Structure 1
């Protein structure tokens, strides 16, 4: 793979997935795309890149993007975002949405499903406090491969040991050979959808809570700002956004502001939270 070929691959990945691959990541490309070459019977990475540049192999393009996408996740990852959901956000919205009894949650870049299923289990545990409530959990990802795994909800021993309390494993999973499958009632609570964050996602509708964790770190500053502003547009006026532990909106966008009481929790700025009519009046 020549420098020109590597640069062409970097341009392709950024344009199609937002992944900003630094020049020192050649080793990562070689390790992740070797299996794609084998799968498509290509003799080298140079051949793979030539096929992509020719634009005739959609399946190859898709496989390349999926191979380069990081799908690291586990149940109740980092713990704090789920404690915030259980102890802060859920009580808040149970009170503020008591009239409509409706709550909408979006997990962007949900990978193989552990994040939305963690939220679903928390909600199931709290169901006695929520009679008659309608809960929507939308979980999206750019990789159709991990989405299929998520829909099935089948995890190996290592995956269920990472962060999942034994009490919830016993209560909501059934052992199938050397794997564990999450119960149909929990799977039914999550609507998995293919979504590329580079594309328009306004069709998803409005959300009270958005989890967009550990994906913006792969985007450049301009794309981060664009995605965050579009997420803010989908959030309810009093909506909440949770990012990854190493992510922030500070210095990136003025559409969102940090909750001073809770690390990793963000809300719309007053200007963004205003109705379109209020925003228009403020601009006069």
Structure 2
């Protein structure tokens, strides 16, 4: 792959997925796109990249973007955000929405489904407190391939051993041959949809909780700022945004502020500021 090919691909991926490739990621490009070359019978990466410059390269474009997207995930990944959801975010949302009995949650980088299904299990465990509630759980990802896998809810032994408590494996999954499938009742709780975070969120409405963990780290600062600002618009008053441990809103947007007691949890700036003013006056 020539330097010009690499520079074209960097700009191409940035425009279509937000992915910001640094120069040291060149080896990653070559290793991940080699299978795409074989799939579409391109002799070289140069030929593959040349095809992206042509009109109507839809199938190849989708394959390239999906190949370069990181889909690392597992059940209850990093555990703390899920404990925070169970112990802090969910009780607050239940109290805040008690009158209308409705809760909307968005997993904005769902990958193969482990994150939204982890949330679904926590919601199922909280079922007595949510009796009579309407729960909307939306899970999106840029990759159509991983969304299709997520809809099936079918996982290998290795995948269910990563973060999933044994008692919940036995409670919520059925073994099918050498794989495990999550219960139909939990699959029906999640609406999976292919979606690119670079596109507008307006059609989704507002959410009480947004999970967007370990995806912003792949974007440059202007892209992060834009996405975070739009998350701010998509959060209902008092809503919560959960980011990955290495991610923050600080220096990127003034629409969201960190929760002072819970690392990785963010809320509306306009909700937090009156509290800060009251404290200052007091």
TM-score, with normalisation over the residues of structure 2? Answer: 0.95
How far the C-alpha of 1:95 sits from its partner, in A, is 1.2
Match of 1:192, SS? strand
- 1:237 touches 1:273 (CA, 8 Å); kept in 2? no
Q: Which residue in the other structure is 1:138 paired with?
A: 138
Compute the RMSD of aligned alpha carbons: 1.3
- 1:238 touches 1:273 (CA, 8 Å); kept in 2? no
Distance 1:206 1:15 in 2: 26
| Residues 272, 232 of structure 1: alpha-carbon distance in 2 compared, 3 angstrom cutoff | farther
Q: Which residue in the other structure is 1:15 paired with?
A: 15
Q: Which residue in the other structure is 1:175 paired with?
A: 175
TM-score, with normalisation over the residues of structure 1? Answer: 0.95
Q: How does 1:130-279 map to 2 (within 5 A)?
A: 130-270=130-270
Alignment gaps of 5+ in structure 2: 275-282
Q: Which residue in the other structure is 2:119 paired with?
A: 119
What are the Cα deviations for residues 199-234 of structure 1, in whole angstroms up to 9, with x where unaligned?
112101110000000110011000000000001101
Match of 1:193, SS? strand
Alignment gaps of 5+ in structure 1: 275-284
- 1:210 touches 1:240 (CA, 8 Å); kept in 2? yes
How far the C-alpha of 1:273 sits from its partner, in A, is 9.3
What are the Cα deviations for residues 46-82 of structure 1, in whole angstroms up to 9, with x where unaligned?
0000000123321000000000000000000000110
Give the count of matched residue pairs: 274
Distance 1:62 1:69 in 2: 11
How far the C-alpha of 1:93 sits from its partner, in A, is 1.3
How far the C-alpha of 1:271 sits from its partner, in A, is 7.5
- 1:229 touches 1:255 (CA, 8 Å); kept in 2? yes
Task: Tell me whether 53-62 or 189-198 shows the greater mean CA deviation.
Answer: 53-62
Match of 1:72, SS? coil
After TM superposition, what 4+ stretches of structure 1 lie above 4 angstroms from structure 2?
A: 271-274
- 2:72 touches 2:111 (CA, 8 Å); kept in 1? yes
